[in-house]
Each structure stands twice: as C-alpha cells, then as structure tokens.
Amino acid sequence: MLLAFFTDIHANQQAFSACLEQARARGVERFICLGDIVGYGGDPEWSVETVMDLVASGGLAVRGNHDNAVAVASETMNAEAQAAIEWTRGRLSAAQRRFLAELPMSLEEDDRLYVHSEASSPPRWRYIQSSSDAARSMIATPAQLTFCGHIHRPTLYSMSVTAKMTSFIPTSNAPIKLLRGRQWLAVVGSVGQPRDGDPAASYVTFETKTREITYCRVPYDVEAAALRIRANGLPPWLAERLMVGR
Amino acid sequence: MAKSVLQPGAVIDGFTVGECVHSGGMATLWSVTHPGIDTPLLMKVPRVAEGEDAAAIVSFEMEQMILPKLAGPHVPASFGTGDFAHQAYVVIERIPGETLYQRLPELPLRYEEARAMVAKIAAALADLHRQNVIHHDIKPSSIMFRPSGEAVLIDYGLSCHKHLPDLLQEEFRLPYGTAPYMAPERMMGVRSDPRSDLFSLGVLLYFFTTGVRPFGESETLRGMRRRLWRDPQPPRKLRPDYPPWLQEIVLRCLEIDPVWRYPTASQLAFDLGNPDQVKLTGRSEKIRHDPLSTVWRRRFNRGVLQPQATSDVALQLASSPIVAIAIDTSEGAEQLNAALRVTAERILATLPSARLACVNVLKLGRITIDRMVDEQGNNKHIDRMVRLRHWASPLKLDANRLTVHVLEATDPAAAILEFAAVNQVDHIIIGARQDSVLRALLGSVSAKVATEANCTVTVVRPSRLAVSGAVATEAARQEAS
C-alpha cells in the first residue's frame, strides 16, 4: 500500500492542497499527518477540516506542538508563533479544537512509529538536528521505521546493528529502499513552511510492500499563501519566510 | 538474524539454488535459475556469522541498494534482493568468463592491447558516473568483459550513490578498500569525488603496462599514506620504450591532487581512443620521480591536499563535457563557420573543463577509389587538419582542450554520429546548410544528426543580414498597424 506522510502543514492551504493533489495522482491510498496542522498560516479551519476528512476515510494523525498549543494553551512559544496561535484559536470551531485536543501523541502500525517530534520523549518536542538526536530516538523505540517532522528539514537517518549512524539529505523523487537490516528514521520536510532553503512544499510517500520511501517536493502558489497571512494581520515575517523557505 | 542455510536445491523467493561457483572472503556465489528468466543468474550471499567483520554486512547492504538502481551494458543486470531478516542475497546476471585478475601472470601487456582495454573500462566508468555512482574499488578483480566487448564493472560493496544514503560514511575509522589502488584523497576520508576512480584506473593502467604496481602492495596505513606526497616512478624509467602519450595519460590519472587528473572518465576514454591527439606535457618526458624538495613540500605543507568541499558527481560531469563541432572547410562556408565559432565560444566560456573536438568529414565517393593526394601532391587529410586548427585558433584554447579529427566517410551524418557515440560526446554543434538547392539534393546532414544523436545537438545558422531583418521588422510593423 502506498502511504503519504504530511507534517507541519501550518495552515497553508495552497501548499497542502498542492501536495494532496500530487499524492492522489501518484496513487497514494492512505494519508498520515504527523502533526502541526495549524499555526503560522492563514487557513487553519480549512486545514483542520481537511485532515479530519482524511482521518474519517481511514487516515491517521498525531499531535504537534502547535496543535497542542491551540488545544491546551500551556505551550511556550516565540512571540510570532504565539500571536498566530491566539488568532488560530479564535478561528476554529469547538469541534475542530476538540479534534486537535484528542490527537494521540504517537501511533504505531506494523513496524512503523508515527510521532511529531521524536520517540524518546514526545511531549518535550525535541528537535532531531543531528545523528545523535536521531540515535536517541531510535534507541527509545522498538519500531524499525520512525516517521516524524517538527524540524522542517527533510533528512533520512539510519542505524546499523552495531549502532553506526548514517545521515542523508534526500534527493526529491529518488526512491530509497529502507533495508530491513537496520533501523531508519525519516524526518519529513514541512508542507506549509519549509526551512531548508527550498520554498517548495515537502512530503513523503512510502510503499509498504517494497519499503521504498520517496521524498517529494511540490511547487505551489507561495504568493497566495503569503497574502493569506498578511490579509489576516498575522506577523509579516511569517509571510516573508515562505518566499525563501527559511 | 536468520542463519544462512543455503544449499543446492533450496528455493528462495522462486530462485532455485544450483552449485556454489565461488567462495570468497566476503560472500559466496551460487548459480541459480528462475522460471521465466533465461539469463544465466548468480546469487551472491554475504558471509554473516558470529565474529565476521561488520563491514561485510554493510558492504552487502550498499550493494543491495545500488545494484537495482543501475542499468546498461556496463553493469550486471539485477534480478532481485533478499534482506537480512530472512536470507540476504542479491541475484544478478552471470557474466561469462573471468575477471581481469586472471590476466596478472601475463603482465606487462602490449601497449596497444592495454590502451584498447583501459579505454573500454574508462567508457564503462563514464557510464557508471553518469548514473551518479562512484565505484571506489576499481581493480582487476572488479572488471569483466562481455563477449560483445563492453567492460562490465562488478562489486559495488564500497560504492556510493548520490541519491542514496552512504551507509559506509561512519562505518570505518580507517580508509576501506584495496590498498594498492586507493586514491590519496580516500586517505583523507573523501568519498564524494568521481576522480578517485580515475586514479584507481591509472594504477591499473600503470600495472598492466609495466608489470609493476606504482605504489607497491603495502597494506599498512603508513605505506598507503606515502602516496599523498610521493609520486610513482615514471613508467619510462621501467620501460625505456614506453610511449610518451601513454605516460602522459597514466601520470595524469595518478596526479595526487584530483584537480590535475582528467575531469571525467569520458575525457580519459577520449584520449585513450585518440592517442595521436594527446597533448604531451612535462609528464610525458619524466624519467625520474619528483625531487625530494617537491615531496617534502607536499608532505609538510598542509595546504597541499586538504579534504575538498563535497564535490557533486553530476555537477562534475556536467561541467566537463566533450563538445564535438562539425566544421565544413570548403570555400563559401566562412559565414557559417564564424557563427559556429561564436556558439562554441559561448559554450566553452561557461565550462572551463570542457574539451572541443573539431570534426570534418572528408567525403569519399561511393564507387570510385579516392586519391588521398590532390593534383598538386598535397595530402588532403593533413590539409583538412590544418584548416580545422586554423578555424579553432581564435578560440585560444589550451592544447589539451582541443583536438582535430578528419573522418573519411561516404555518409557525413553517419560519420559524425559514429564519432559522437565512440567518443562519448556530450554535445554536438553543427551548422545547417543554407543552400536550399544543395540541401534538396543531398538531404540535411544537420537534421539527421539532430534526429539520431543520443546527446544534445545545437544546430547553428548564420545570423540573417541586418538589412533583411530591418525590412522584416518594418513589414511586421505595417502589418500590425
């Protein structure tokens, strides 16, 4: 079965719909959201509604720190992120807020773990910035494959049976077979706010039969997404960073 | 991890195991069959047992990832992989015959034989590099030849692929590979430079033409590191009849700094295919290795060979193309030739490692026996070469970036296409004949080349006269108003 993983959508309707369209055209049968549906972007209602629909039709979703901040109001964030969270909270319906509040912190399926940040302590929202961060996460889970987001920069880590690490910046559209002899951790890039210097939206497909992962990039209407941020009076930097993917 | 229980008659994922054909240090090879696959097949199974080198496992994983990504005549076709959870294996096409290792007792080979053979290996390497793979273990036992003549590169356990994680990146504290063939930058941990393979091929060419390994057989790290500062004995010191062009090629491959080697395997193959066009430098004349002062400078001046910033296989290849330009040397082609020169100039200005092959076709009659000497007794062939050099002289190219070739053929388009294929040309520049009467009679050479070439083709036309351009603009303006 061909799965698609989306993470850090951040209420960017233009980016998310472009990714969904490409994924459907590529034959994706099941959609998994790795959290941070909201925050930063100008279309939180549409984004949450879309993920709710995907989950209703057999998809899965886990909770990100921005989803958590909207739902439980106790997260500490920087000023810009906090402004977006306050605004988002006012926009969402009670049902949408409840959906975010009830999202699980992580999910396991076969030999795969889905989590927003990393596996060693999901509520601490730690970033995976290096091989040693990735190793800490992999040691903490029996799952052979971990799919996560949070850092907004696509990277693929692996750990051999002798605990040797590899890290790799994936090339888009070049499938990689995740060999069974080692543990893998796939950091999925952000749909709605890429930070690796490429403004194109990012997601991942995974074929369960062949165990091939493909990192995908989708160009989308960045101007329109930036306009939505400005039109809603959100901090202008949130619009500007979309243009440069930083 | 499942223990290997392979024996004749076993069936694994539809492959029926036959006899064990080879048992090596890292893996065993079994002949296998599969219903519906006519190609002779080999199953390669890693040795995985208590106390075995972890490197064997990682190398095998690397091979499992890379082999299915490869295509073409220069690699064994891949038919399936099995992972360590059940039975680790790869099934590949069985190439008939032996590896080059079997020929070691015959060394040194005749120069001509070694030249032709290494040219084929360089062509295979060029194809591999184009597929974003650096082999990293080029040596006689990694090379076979198909019955049709193409070189096949086997054993990808130490290779890296630009689009796949490098599983070996943290696996070894020490450089891992075959010591006598390993490039100096590998001692510094650089695994991303395709020119490391050209160094290894240079070692092979040196060994096969002199019977001596240029850096000995030392397996110690100290012995291996010597090649960071100590250049090998020039082949001419070992064999006084060693051709200068061959020494030029060998020593260029063995340059300590990758920057001074051939930029691509295609350019090396080109020189091996055109030995009379090799630009001879001081390398070709050396009869002893570098003086101690130079060696000491290399050894104690740390700046000489620092690990380079990651170089990109694809970028490296793209910046060093072989460009072939077809030049008509006959009277009346001046305007077109000037336009061709402008186009060549633009392309070469952006690609400092590109090389230009100027090609002219000396058309032979289909039935008549042509005289190679004209009425005045001048040799037509040499006359054409002189004209080609004259055409190229305003480009002011270094001699090692320019070659001239006169092809004798009845069909000019076919001759240009064949030249491009044999020499792995990346880009053909050709002029379009403007004379419509001639074109109607003879057919368009440029059209045939553009249609049938398997590389980029630029068709050049001389710019229109300014007057007719102005007239056209005026006509367009009137039409618009």
Per-residue pLDDT of chain B (481 residues; tens, 9 = 90+): 444 568 899 999 999 999 999 887 778 899 999 999 999 999 999 876 655 667 778 888 899 999 999 999 999 999 999 887 778 899 999 999 999 999 999 999 999 999 999 999 999 999 999 999 999 999 999 999 999 999 999 999 999 999 999 988 776 666 678 889 999 998 888 888 999 999 999 999 999 999 999 998 877 777 788 888 889 999 999 999 999 999 999 999 999 999 999 999 999 999 999 999 999 999 999 998 888 888 888 887 655 455 554 457 777 777 788 999 999 888 778 888 899 999 999 888 888 888 899 999 988 766 555 555 665 656 788 888 888 999 999 998 887 888 889 888 888 899 999 999 888 899 999 998 766 566 666 568 888 999 999 999 999 988 765 444 444 455 455 554 4
Q: Verify whether the Cβ–Cβ distance B170 to A164 is below 8 Å.
A: yes
Q: Which of residues 117-146 of A touch B (CB under 8 A)?
A: 131
Tell how far CA B127 is from the center of its chain: 7
Q: Verify whether the Cβ–Cβ distance B54 to A161 is below 8 Å.
A: yes
What angle in degrees, to the nearest 10, is found between the helix axes of B111-130 and B195-210?
170
Give the chain B residue nearest A161 (alpha carbons). Answer: B54
Token representation of residue A99:
């959906």
Q: Tens of pLDDT along A160-200? A: 888 889 999 999 999 999 998 899 999 999 999 999 999 99
CB A23 within 8 A of CB A31: yes
Q: Verify whether the Cβ–Cβ distance A166 to B167 is below 8 Å.
A: yes
> Taking an 8 Å Cβ-Cβ cutoff, which residues of chain B contact chain A?
1, 54, 57-58, 61, 64-65, 68, 83-85, 88, 162-167, 169-171
Residue with the two structure tokens 């910035």 = A129
Closest by CA to B12, choosing from B95, B79, B93, is B79
Contacts of B85 in chain A (CB under 8 A): 180-181
B431 backbone φψ class: left, alpha, beta (φ>0; ψ -120 to 50): beta
* Segments in B367-411 forming alpha helices (H): 380-392
Contacts of B166 in chain A (CB under 8 A): 166, 168
Say whether residue A88 is in contact with chain B using an 8 A CB cutoff: no
Q: Specify the pairing of strand A155-159 against strand A183-187.
A: antiparallel
Q: Residue B244's pLDDT is what?
A: 97
Q: Verify whether the Cβ–Cβ distance B162 to A171 is below 8 Å.
A: yes
CA distances from B242 to B111, B235, B239, B282, B325 (A): 8, 7, 5, 15, 32
- Amino acid sitting at position A129: Q
Q: Verify whether the Cβ–Cβ distance A160 to B84 is below 8 Å.
A: no
Burial of B139 (0-12, 13-18, 19+ CB in 10 A): buried
Q: Residue B440's pLDDT is what?
A: 60
Cα B279 to Cα A172: distance, rounded to the nearest angstrom: 41
CB A25 within 8 A of CB A107: no
For residue B163, give the nearest of A161, A167, A174 by CB distance.
A174
Tell how far CA B470 is from the center of its chain: 48
**Domains of chain A from N-terminus onward:** 2-244 (3.60.21.10)
Q: Which of residues 154-193 of A touch B (CB under 8 A)?
A: 156, 158, 160-162, 164-168, 170-171, 174, 176-177, 179-182
**What distance in Å separates residue A213's CA from the closest CA in chain B?**
11
Q: Residue A90's pLDDT is what?
A: 92
Closest by CA to A178, choosing from A156, A163, A204, is A156
Average pLDDT of span A80-101: 92
Cβ-Cβ contacts under 8 Å for B454 (sequence gap 6 or more): B420, B421
- Residue A206's SS3 state is strand
Question: Chains A and B: how many Cβ contacts under 8 Å?
Answer: 57
CB B317 within 8 A of CB B130: yes
For residue B58, give the nearest of A131, A160, A170 by CB distance.
A160
Chain A interface, best mutation among B1, B164, B172, by max A CB count within 10 A: B164
φ/ψ (deg, to 5) at B335: -65, -45
Q: Residue B6's pLDDT is what?
A: 80
Each residue of B239-266: b (16+ CB within 10 Å) or e?
beebbbbbbbbbbbbbbbebeebbbbbb
CA distances from B207 to B64, B218, B230, B232, B268 (A): 31, 15, 17, 11, 17
CB A43 within 8 A of CB A221: no
Q: Verify whether the Cβ–Cβ distance A176 to B165 is below 8 Å.
A: yes
CB A186 within 8 A of CB A150: no
Q: Residue A75's pLDDT is what?
A: 65
State yes or no: cis peptide before B108, omega within 30 of 0. Answer: yes
Distance spanning both ends of chain B, measured CA to CA: 82
DSSP state letter for B181: G
* Segments in B331-459 forming alpha helices (H): 334-350, 380-392, 412-422, 436-442, 445-452
**Domains of chain B from N-terminus onward:** 11-93 (3.30.200.20), 100-301+311-316 (1.10.510.10), 321-460 (3.40.50.620)
For residue B85, give the nearest of A158, A176, A180 by CB distance.
A180
